[in-house]
Chain A
């Protein structure tokens, strides 16, 4: 009995020492080495690809953000600002558990393909987007009707960007063809020509749009 207790203790001791030494290797040395390389070689990307305009931070190129008015609709959701290109619907929620930070929690709706809630949401989004952009409901593309996986999707489809161009131009008092050209200039093709989908980065497009509006469309 004593013997087996002693040998178990010895084994657990070996396990603990193994864990601690591997924690030093994989949990301290490894992340520090990678961080060192990353910070030296890819400083901007490693720190979140923050974008500044005139020295002021306007967000991360990788993360979606909202472009809303102070006014709210009847459900208490802030209304979209017609002066900006709008991102995809988002199911990301406010922080529920740790109230110390009002942090955005990434995530998806997780609603099923046969969910009434999702079906109603899709119909509502179609109607809203059509009314907001003064287009036929059937013209609204799928990415404008569905919530993304992260809730922070930085991109929209070129179709959704083109759909919004006219409304954006009107709201900013810009010629429609200038804004349409701006959209075309901001379409990112598939990576290496075949990976993923074509997309438009909403933040980059809106920054360029604001510059254009600032010069009165003379650019």
Chain B
């Protein structure tokens, strides 16, 4: 079997698995977020929190819950890293406290569902920080994203009320009913493939030719599964999902790709169910699916073609890729991780072809909405849908409406603010980092070291870092030495602002929609469940985000790929 055929078959198997899980998981999640019953364990949790799970919240209250919970999360994770040096060795593995700037960066990163890592897992973080800190945020930051998405959906589904549901109930249900059970099953599958799951310390094992090798123990499988399922991406080890203990074989690799995609895609079904028309969900799904599949096909093509002087000399794009995965599966992983807000990697994007690196960048720049992070993908796509109906409305000169709600001045202002935040952060911070004298010194692939002397890849490293941070992805062109006070601080800020400012606008939008009286559908209403609309949506996404970033992309990956 040729490698290309194997790559295509893996893609088809993945699509089949996603299709099979779409309805059951989507319906199940719709049930979770609309059920009136509480599990006994949940009641216990609500009592501990001191919250009434049945109390409806208006959008400012919902937002305050999100922000308070996340702020506490940042502080807790920061302190946990700062006290690592005084913890007993069994909990710290003997590692010292993390420096203040790196601890801030890491805390912001994991609470913002980004999981950008300026540290190497196996040489910095002990069991306590990994399991009690990082892994917990893998769960709850994902649950927060899903909660905000569900709040926006309720904004469409509800009328003449300001209430969007209860944040604490949505947070706890997402964690306890959706993420936890799937994680237990997934973790056992990964261990069966060969991922490790223990609490032993760093220990020596023998080598065949003599000498010893030192390896880490750790609760790896349990963290790996939620890292993918919650579109987090922070690796236990420096090599992330390329490390054999995190991703032992080709099956676990495809399984991890499946875990990344399954919730974001299925949430479109949940959306359709909750607004009372599953076809509306299919239209969103179609737009997401077309972009994901198109980008993946393009990525596989460019990686198999292996353009670039060094890759041509080697005869294939295997630099930074593992033999057990090969080029095809690595390419699927790369587009999947950047089109969602995951950022886990099974191969290193910096060594991809110029065009391949450009695809990973553009994937993130689209706002990670195809299918996007858990929750954040759906609300990002719904904001783009509002922009798309607005554009359609302008064409025919009619007040746009979506799902029976008028898209008026207030709604379109909020949507516009939403889509302006990330580009501002990405381009602003990148420009600053290139203009100052210190930050460019972190670049690995410097100007003098590229075959044509362009240094385009070095610029891409910085652009990638802020694109990844502000879009809450977390992957990197990892040659950049980001563990400096400048990058730790600025990327930390980009991650927090890129996560929580959009949530402010999403929740405000949800509140405004929920207060409206629905307008009846007429012959002039744009049918947003039809293929025409899905096509319009894809076009709007590509044009708006593509044009925003075109100059930056031209300076980086396009210059590298075309030279």
- Which residues of A pack against B, CB within 8 Å? 8, 11-23, 25-28, 30-31, 33-35, 37-39, 41-42, 45-50, 53, 56-63, 65-68, 81, 84, 88, 92, 95-98, 100-119, 121-123, 126, 141-143, 145-157, 190-197, 199, 203, 206-207, 210
Contacts and interface: CB of A to CB of B under 8 A. Distances in A.
Interface string B320-335: 1111111001100000
B206 A150 contact: no
Contacts of B318: 142-143, 145-146
B103 interface: no
**Top-9 shortest CB links A-B:** A196-B250, A113-B308, A149-B242, A197-B326, A106-B239, A142-B316, A110-B479, A57-B206, A112-B457
A112 B317 CA distance: 11
Given A33-B184, A34-B187, A34-B221, A22 B175 contact: yes
A56 B132 contact: no
A47 B221 CA distance: 11
A190 B13 CA distance: 14
B435 interface: no
Contacts of A97: 120, 123-124
Contacts of B120: 97, 105-107
Contacts of B72: 12, 15-16, 18-19
Contact of B449 (A49, A115, A191): A115
- For A20, A50, A121, A197, which residue has the most chain B Cβ atoms within 10 angstroms? A197
A59 B205 contact: yes
B558 interface: no
B311 interface: yes
Given A27-B131, A199-B323, A59 B213 contact: yes
A156 B299 CA distance: 24
Nearest to A63: B244
A18 B49 contact: yes
B444 A81 contact: no
B313 A30 contact: no
Contact of A195 (B139, B250, B309, B563): B250
Interface stretch (B29-37, B349-357, B486-494, B528-536): B349-357
B215 A48 contact: yes
Given A68-B209, A108-B239, A116-B449, A19 B69 contact: yes
A43 B384 CA distance: 48
Nearest to A210: B208
A21 B45 contact: yes
Contacts, number: 397
A61 B123 CA distance: 22
B202 to A, nearest CB: 5
Given A16-B72, A26-B180, A106 B237 contact: yes
B483 to A, nearest CB: 9
A59 B323 CA distance: 19
Nearest to B457: A112
Contact-size category for B: 35 or more
B31 to A, nearest CB: 21
B315 to A, nearest CB: 5
Residue of A46, A114, A122, A190 contacting most chain B CB atoms (<10 Å): A114
Given A12-B71, A48-B215, A112 B320 contact: no
Nearest to A201: B324
B368 to A, nearest CB: 22
A115 B187 contact: no
A115 B324 contact: no
Contacts of A39: 197-198
Interface string B57-75: 0000000110011011100
Contact of B351 (A31, A112, A116, A195): A112
Nearest to A70: B210
Given A21-B48, A112-B357, 15 more contacts: A35-B222, A37-B191, A45-B192, A68-B209, A101-B94, A110-B445, A116-B449, A118-B319, A145-B313, A146-B320, A152-B239, A152-B244, A153-B323, A193-B1, A207-B208
A147 to B, nearest CB: 6
Contact of A111 (B122, B195, B244, B351): B351
A84 to B, nearest CB: 6
Q: Report whether over half of chain A's contact residues are helix, strand or loop; otherwise say mixed.
A: mixed
Contacts of A98: 94-96, 123-124
* Most chain A C-beta atoms within 10 Å of own C-beta, residue among B122, B132, B199, B322: B322
Contact of B329 (A27, A53, A196): A196
A26 B140 contact: yes
B49 to A, nearest CB: 5
Contacts of A46: 191, 196-198, 221
Contacts of A50: 205
Contacts of A63: 213, 215, 244-245
Given A42-B192, A63-B213, A81-B209, A27 B136 contact: yes
Contacts of A88: 323
B199 A35 contact: yes
A111 B197 CA distance: 32
Contacts of A35: 197-199, 219, 222
Contacts of A119: 309-310, 313, 451
Nearest to B143: A22
A83 to B, nearest CB: 8
B51 interface: yes
Given A18-B168, A195-B250, A45 B10 contact: no
Contact of A22 (B136, B207, B244): B136
B73 A19 contact: yes
B409 interface: no
Contacts of B132: 23, 27-28
A65 B205 CA distance: 11
Nearest to A120: B310
B329 A48 contact: no
Which of B172, B187, B318, B326 has the most C-beta atoms of chain A within 10 angstroms of its own C-beta? B318
B324 A155 contact: yes
Contacts of B545: none
Interface string B244-269: 11001111011000000000000000
Contacts of A114: 308-310, 354, 450-452, 454, 456-457, 560, 563
B478 interface: yes
Given A111-B479, A123-B313, A27 B133 contact: yes
Contacts of A21: 45, 48-49
10 contacts: A20-B48, A26-B180, A38-B188, A45-B195, A48-B245, A59-B205, A106-B122, A106-B237, A152-B243, A197-B6
A190 B131 contact: no
